[in-house]
Amino acid sequence: MASKNPAGLKMRELEQATGVGRETIRFYIREGLLPEPERPKRNVARYSDVHVVRLKSIKKLQQERFLPLNVIKEIVKAQDGEPASGIESFVGLENALYPLLGDPGKLEPRRLTDVASDSGFTVEDVDELIALGFVNVDEREGVRWLDSRNARIVALWRGIQDAGFSEEKGYTAETWSIYGTFLSWLVQQEVSSFYTNLADQVGQSEAAEMAAEGIRIMNEIIPLMRTDRLIRAVEEISQSGNLPGTAEDDTSSDA
Least reliable range by pLDDT among 108-112, 178-182, 246-250: 246-250
118/71 same-domain check: no
Average pLDDT over residues 167-183: 92
Kindly report the number of other CB atoms within 10 A of residue 125's CB atom: 15
> Which domain, by its residues, includes 47?
11-82
Comparing CA positions, the residue from 103, 115, 107, 106 lying closest to residue 143 is: 115
What would the mean pLDDT of 58-74 be, rounded to a whole number? Answer: 75
Q: Are residues 111 and 231 in the same domain?
A: yes
**For the domain that residue 35 is a member of, what is the CATH number?**
1.10.1660
| Cα separation, 146 vs 114, whole angstroms | 10
User: How wide is the angle at C-alpha 107 spanned by C-alphas 102 and 112, nearest 5°?
Assistant: 145
Within a domain: residue 249? no
Confidence of residue 253 (pLDDT cuts 50, 70, 90): very low
> Are 156 and 100 found together in one domain?
yes
Lowest mean pLDDT among 90-99, 151-160, 202-211: 90-99
Per-residue pLDDT averaged across 95-109, rounded?
Answer: 70
Number of domains composing the chain: 2
Spatial CB neighbours of 150, under 8 Å, sequence gap ≥ 6 = 135, 136, 137
Asked whether residue 126 falls in the same domain as residue 219, the answer is: yes
Give the confidence band of 85 by pLDDT, cuts at 50, 70, 90: low
Confidence of residue 57 (pLDDT cuts 50, 70, 90): confident
pLDDT of residue 87: 63
Residue 128 has pLDDT above 60, yes or no: yes
Give Cα separations from 252 to 240, 244, 247, 248 (angstroms). Answer: 17, 18, 11, 8
Mean pLDDT of the chain: 85
The answer to the question of residue 141 being in a domain is yes
